[in-house]
Amino acid sequence: MFWKTLYNFRVDMLTLVFVCLSISVTGLHAAFTVTVGSPSVKVKENEGVDLKCSYTADFGATPRIEWKFKDLKGYQFFIYFAGMITAEYEGRITVYNGGLRFNKVTRADSGDYDCEVSGNGGYDEKTIKLTVLVPPSKPVSRIPSSVTTGSNVRLTCFDADGSPPSTYKWYKDNTPLPEDPTKFPNFKNLTYKMNVFNGNLEFPIVSKLDTGSYFCEASNGEDTPQRGDAVLMEVRDVDNSQAPAVKGSLSTETQNVPSKITMNHMLEKQYGVFMLQEQTELPPHLDTREEMADLMTMGGASRSAGLGGIGGSGCHGGVGRAEDLHGGKGRAGDYHSGTSRAEEVKKTLLKPIAITDTTTVSGYNGNQSPHS
């Protein structure tokens, strides 16, 4: 009984060893497999580096090997194709059986490198991520010197050189600001939002509590962090007293002079007089309201007198609805009624008229005379 048990034990052990050997052969050396030394490689700028890539023997003695590169912007192109190094990489790399070597890397070489092997009907590829280490440079920041309470304010910070890309920290009055102010009692009253990855510091509704001296810091683990220039940002209330009033900015010489548009509206509404309908600018000699009124009296410029403009044709040339000076027909009346109506207009023009509706003044900037 003992010998039988021992025999069965030996048979089971031999079976187990055979199974393990079978798994080892098929599992550790799968068919058509590409292997890289490390999926992620880091190297300092201006140093050399090897990207190792090997393959199983079933690809054949002379498999087709290709290397592709995809940069950080997503552009992809060959660096080794059809057994030749592409023109852009001649003199910079060497391809050998088992990998690729850079003589000297630059920050532009950071990206993904694909090692592709094909032969005997098989294909496989593996990717190596290369990071060229570059310390950050002094970041460029944009910080406003003066802002208004209640407005949305964004401070920006950017380092163009750091590789890997820098992360950012902000300081106020030489004190580092936490990424989330709500988690710290000393900062819980502040409402800023900080993005450590793109360098933005945003105040959705800035308040006077946010007044202070700000600067940012960029770091990526290489060399020492770099700081930008400090800028004092003042938060001020809106000052309405500085807003210029239109009437107050007019001189005493011109503030009672009606504009062209206001005068047209007044005359047409009160007296039925059509004024300056075809003329875009006042004649240069009409510098005062008195001269304008005299000219209207001479021309009898009213619907009653049948004249079409300020000047008209004087007492002797009334045209339009009136057919002659003494016997106007239709709706025209006579010369005397036209004259009396114009006299009324003259009296009205000579009264002081303050500009109250500034929206009717075309192109007025509050500092120039309406005649200009």
| Structure confidence at residue 111 (pLDDT) | 97
> Checking DSSP bridges between strand 153-158 and strand 201-203, what pairing results, if any?
antiparallel
Q: What pLDDT is attached to residue 344?
A: 54
80: tokens are 């080794």
Where does 197-253 have alpha helices with state H?
A: none
* Distance in angstroms (rounded) separating the CA atoms of residues 158 and 23: 54
- CA distance readout (Å), 358 to 36, 182, 250, 263: 79, 50, 12, 13
Calpha distance 262→357 (Å, rounded) = 8
- Alpha helices for 234-325 (secondary structure H): 260-271, 289-299
Can you say how many angstroms the Cα of residue 182 is from the centroid of all Cα atoms in its chain?
29
pLDDT value of position 249? 38
Its pTM stands at 0.54
Rounded Cα–Cα distance for residues 137 and 135 (Å)? 7
Q: List, as own/partner pairs, every contact residues 349-354 make where C-beta atoms lie below 8 angstroms and the sequence separation is at least 24, other chains included.
A: 349/263, 349/289, 349/290, 349/292, 349/293, 349/296, 350/289, 350/290, 350/293, 352/256, 353/256, 353/257, 353/258, 353/262, 353/266, 354/247, 354/255, 354/256
Tokens representing 363 are 């192109």
How confident is the chain (372 residues) per 10-residue block, as mean pLDDT? 52 48 47 95 97 95 95 94 94 94 96 96 96 97 96 97 96 95 88 96 95 97 96 89 46 42 46 42 47 47 37 38 39 43 51 41 39 40
Q: What is the DSSP letter of 179?
A: S
Phi and psi at residue 310, in whole multiples of 5°? -70, -50
Domains contained in the chain, CATH given:
34-133 (2.60.40.10), 140-240 (2.60.40.10), 260-360 (no CATH)
Return the amino acid letter for 42.
K
- Residue 156 to residue 144: CA distance in whole angstroms: 10
| Enclosing H/E stretch for 336 | helix 335-349
Beta carbons within 10 angstroms of residue 50's beta carbon: 16
